[in-house]
């Protein structure tokens, strides 16, 4: 493609972002729609991400995705925001910056796709982690379940996120076996197990026979958690689903175009292979 001064520039910011598949996904959709735009990965290493994002105002960006650890900073940097955590930024024609969060809705889209009967079987959910993605997923699940439990190595962080949700509850890290056994949906939202990093021995053997297990990590696409769930015959949802569906909602916010999620999965699986 020919890049000119008129080409719209979008990207993903975070630390790290070298592993991100978002450029492959979004540039594929840009080509599908015949748009004059480009999407790039931008590592942002700073202790003051909010100021760095505000400084981007005059650089001509159309929009950005935001990943760890800058989602809270992205929301605070925006002139208009939906909540305290954001994974999508969009510069408006009036120069203002709007912040959105498509993580929660994207996760539900992925759940609908992979386990379409989940609303009839899930009463309690356990979310491992207490970061921006965990909070967004918890808020999205909250209206559909009786209880959303959060478990995190830093107990106070889990307690803070749990208190932000009407039916949120906190579990201690050493109560993980009890947590896995008490719910119909387990969602792993941390970086544990990503790119070969060490993960705990997930107590999948305590899961109920009707439990659904999801991991938002997608490198590797088959995490130890998902492998253990499949070995027990449980539905296991990989991280590509949430990545694609939150990305599709981002793309629609920027361009007003609904992209092809099936094509994105084909491209990303090819990239991972």
Can you give the pLDDT at residue 157?
96
For the entire predicted model, the pTM comes to 0.95
The predicted-structure confidence for 220-263, as pLDDT tens digits, reads as follows 999 999 999 999 999 999 999 999 999 999 999 999 999 999 99
Q: What is the pLDDT of residue 198?
A: 80
- Exposed, middle or buried by CB within 10 Å (0-12, 13-18, 19+), for 60? exposed
pLDDT tens digit string along 20-34? 999 999 999 999 999
Could you tell me if 195 and 219 are in contact, meaning their C-beta atoms sit under 8 angstroms apart? yes
In 3D space, the residue among 191, 231, 235, 177 whose CA is nearest the CA of residue 210 turns out to be 235
Tens of pLDDT, residues 145-184: 999 999 999 999 999 999 999 999 999 999 999 999 999 9
Average pLDDT over residues 44-67: 95
Instruction: For residue 171, count CB atoms less than 10 angstroms from its CB and return exposed for 0-12, middle for 13-18, buried for 19 or more.
Output: buried
pLDDT at 229 (0 to 100): 98
Per-residue model confidence (pLDDT) at position 72: 94
* Whether pLDDT at 1 is above 80: no
Please write the tens of the pLDDT for every residue from 101-142. 999 999 999 999 999 999 999 999 999 999 989 999 999 999
Q: On the CB side of 89, how many CA atoms lie within 13 Å of its CA?
A: 34
- The proportion of the chain whose per-residue pLDDT surpasses 90, expressed as a percent, equals 92
- Residue 67 — very low, low, confident or very high, per pLDDT cuts 50/70/90? very high
Return the bridge partners of 185, or none.
Answer: 125, 212
Please give the pLDDT value at position 15.
Answer: 95
For residue 106, give the nearest of 253, 256, 270 by alpha carbon: 253
Q: Which of 80, 83, 62 is nearest to 72 (CA)?
A: 83
| Mean pLDDT score, 55-80 | 95
Model confidence pLDDT, tens digit, residues 193-227: 887 778 889 999 999 999 999 999 999 999 999 99
Q: What is the pLDDT of residue 36?
A: 97
Known catalytic residues are 71
Give the list of residues 6+ apart from residue 71 with CB closer than 8 angstroms, or none. Answer: 85, 86, 87, 101, 131, 132, 133
Could you read off the pLDDT of 68-100 as tens digits, one per residue? 999 999 999 999 999 999 999 999 999 899 999
Length of the chain equals 273
Q: Mean pLDDT over all residues of the chain?
A: 96
Residue 199's pLDDT is 86
Do the Cβ atoms of 168 and 162 come closer than 8 Å? yes
Q: Which pLDDT does position 192 carry in this prediction?
A: 86
CB 110 within 8 Å of CB 241: yes
Question: Which structural domains are found in the chain, ordered by start?
Answer: 8-101+242-272 (3.40.50.10860), 104-237 (3.40.50.720)
């Amino acid at each position: 493609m020919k890049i000119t001064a008129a080409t719209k520039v979008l990207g993903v910011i975070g630390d790290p972002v070298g592993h991100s598949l978002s450029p492959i996904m979004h540039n594929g959709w840009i080509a599908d729609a015949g748009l004059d735009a480009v999407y790039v990965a931008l590592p942002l290493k700073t202790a003051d991400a909010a100021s760095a994002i505000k400084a981007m105002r005059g650089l001509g960006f159309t929009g950005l995705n935001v990943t760890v650890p800058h989602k809270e900073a992205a929301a605070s940097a925006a002139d208009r925001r939906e909540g305290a955590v954001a994974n999508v930024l969009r510069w408006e024609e009036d120069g203002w910056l709007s912040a959105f969060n498509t993580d929660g809705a994207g996760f539900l889209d992925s759940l609908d796709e992979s386990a379409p009967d989940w609303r009839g079987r899930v009463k309690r959910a356990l979310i491992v982690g207490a970061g921006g993605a965990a909070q967004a997923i918890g808020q999205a699940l909250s209206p559909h379940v009786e209880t959303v439990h959060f478990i995190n190595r830093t107990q106070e962080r889990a307690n803070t996120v749990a208190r932000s949700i009407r039916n949120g509850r906190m579990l201690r890290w050493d109560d993980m076996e009890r947590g896995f056994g008490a719910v119909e949906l387990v969602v792993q939202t941390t970086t544990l197990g990503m790119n070969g990093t060490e993960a705990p021995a997930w107590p999948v053997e305590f899961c109920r026979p009707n439990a659904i297990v999801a991991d938002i990590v997608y490198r590797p696409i088959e995490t130890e958690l998902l492998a253990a769930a499949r070995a027990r015959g449980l539905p296991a949802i990989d991280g590509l689903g949430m990545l694609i569906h939150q990305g599709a909602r981002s793309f629609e916010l920027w361009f007003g175009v609904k992209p092809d999620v099936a094509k994105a999965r084909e491209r990303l699986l090819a990239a991972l292979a």
